[in-house]
Structure formats: C-alpha cells, structure tokens
Homo-oligomer: A and B are copies of this chain.
Amino acid sequence: MGTVDVTKLLRTAPVRGFLLDITGVLYNSSEGSDGVTIQGSVDAVARLYKESRVRFLSNESTHTTEKVVAKLRRLGFTLEESDVITPAPVAADYLRQRELRPHLLLHPGVSSYFPTSSPDANCVLLGDAEHEFSFHNVNEAFRALMRMKKPLLVTLGQGKFYQRTDGPTIDVGAYAEALKYSSGCDHVVIGKPSAEYFQYAIDAIGVPATETVMIGDDLISDVGGAQRFGMRGIQVRTGKWRPEWEHHPTVSPDLIVNNLAAAVNSILDAQQQRGVQNHV
C-alpha cells in the first residue's frame, strides 16, 4: 500500500464517516459478469465496518440495490443492504412526492421501482439504460418531452462514462445532454453530484459533512460534488480515473490515493496514532 501522507487531509477535522462510491472503487464492472474486485477493497470495507462508519453512495442505475448488494457479496464483500444508496429508489420517492407521471427510459434492472410509462407523462425519467438506448427509445423520450408544456427531464446521475473491463463506457449524462439540447427541457439530477443526494447520504450515515469523506473514482461527480457539499473528496486511481485529472482546472481532490485500501488504512492508522477516535 505504501504510506500516504494524510496530514493535510486531517488538518481541518477528523474523519468519522466514509462514503464510498461502488463501481470503480470496490470493483470494476464487466458486461455479462460480476466484474473484478479491486485489490484490498474487501479488507478495507471490513475494517471500516469495525472501526468507523460507512455508507455506499452509488450512481448505479442498472440494478436494484438488492442486486448490487448480492453482486458485492459474491465478490467477497460483507455489507448491509440498508447501507447502500442508489438513485432509483430515491427517484421513485421523488416522483411520488411530486405526483410526477414519468415516461421511462431505464435499464430493465431498475424498472421494478417504477410504474409503467404514462401516456400522459409530465416528465421523462432517464437512467443508464445501456442497450435500451436505441434510436427508437431515445426518440420516444424526446417526443414525450416535446409533448409537455414544461418539459422536465429527471436523470439517475449525470455521469460522463464509467470504466468497464473492456473499456470506458458512455453513461446516462451523455443522453441527458442529448435530450436537453434537442428539447430545451429542464433537468433534475437524482444522484451524485446533486446536493440533495449527498444530503440523503449524510442523513443516512449520521455524521456531519465536515467529518465525512467521499471516496470515488469520478473527479466531478464524487470528488467535486462532495467538496461543494462541504465534505472532503478523495480520488482513487482506480476505475475510470485518468492521469490528466490530476491537473484538472477546477477540481482538486483533498487526497489522491492508489486505491480504496490506501485511503482507508492511511486515515484510520493516522488517527489511531494520534489517539483520535475513528468512531463518532
């Protein structure tokens, strides 16, 4: 793991809560299989459960939380389903609360959270639909927006791409931009980097934002989003991470580490040495 200097990171406040992105941090995804665990992540998660507080904050919108957890368990992780936050069930609440009738363009893996598409839709709900992003389906979503008086697009995250074992893979944010450009719709994001979604996670973990770190592979959604919310953002050099991000013009992580294990062990070790309580 090597030693990571966390002096600067810990200067402002101790870390008593860890929000972890899942894909690209715990494991790398792969089409048609469970993917590959990132080295040291299983032990890092186990250590967090023992010594601190942890929640999993994902923009995963291709599977139910239940399936995400089942996959992580098959990969060797021990974790509680109630500790995993994904955008689809949060979006389902959002739509219900506002009595929104969605036209859906989603991965079949999360359709169980939602009613069927409304013929009289007043919003389009877009997730990472993957192969459902056919020209026909994208055009139907566009037409649904064009029929609305005040076209509204709700998306499960706005990721640019994610890393699959066979290469970078275009994400829901691209299709959101496409629909916005052509329809001029308004856009609400349920997922990182939206403040509401980070608030949801902070409420769940029960640690103040100032004492919480977000660890992710996405510089914009994970690191930048967390920092804007008042958390510290840690970039891992796994998943979709790109070397050029380390000189990014607008987002500068509070810490850059080779992987999740390096971040977790360095922080917990340093706090132990200083006699700082890792728990709240």
Contacts and interface: CB of A to CB of B under 8 A. Distances in A.
Interface stretch (A36-44, A67-75, A127-135): A127-135
Interface stretch (A19-27, A57-65, A111-119, A168-176): A168-176
Contacts of A169: 139, 142
A228 interface: no
A3 interface: no
Given A143-B168, A174-B178, A181-B160, A132 B131 contact: no
Given A138-B170, A142-B170, A143-B167, A161 B133 contact: no
Nearest to A131: B135
A33 interface: no
Contacts of A174: 138, 142, 178-179, 181-182
Contact of A139 (B134, B139, B170, B183): B170
Interface of A: 129-136, 138-139, 142-143, 146, 160-161, 167-171, 173-175, 177-183
14 contacts: A130-B135, A135-B170, A142-B168, A142-B169, A142-B170, A142-B174, A146-B161, A146-B168, A160-B182, A170-B178, A173-B181, A173-B182, A174-B178, A174-B182
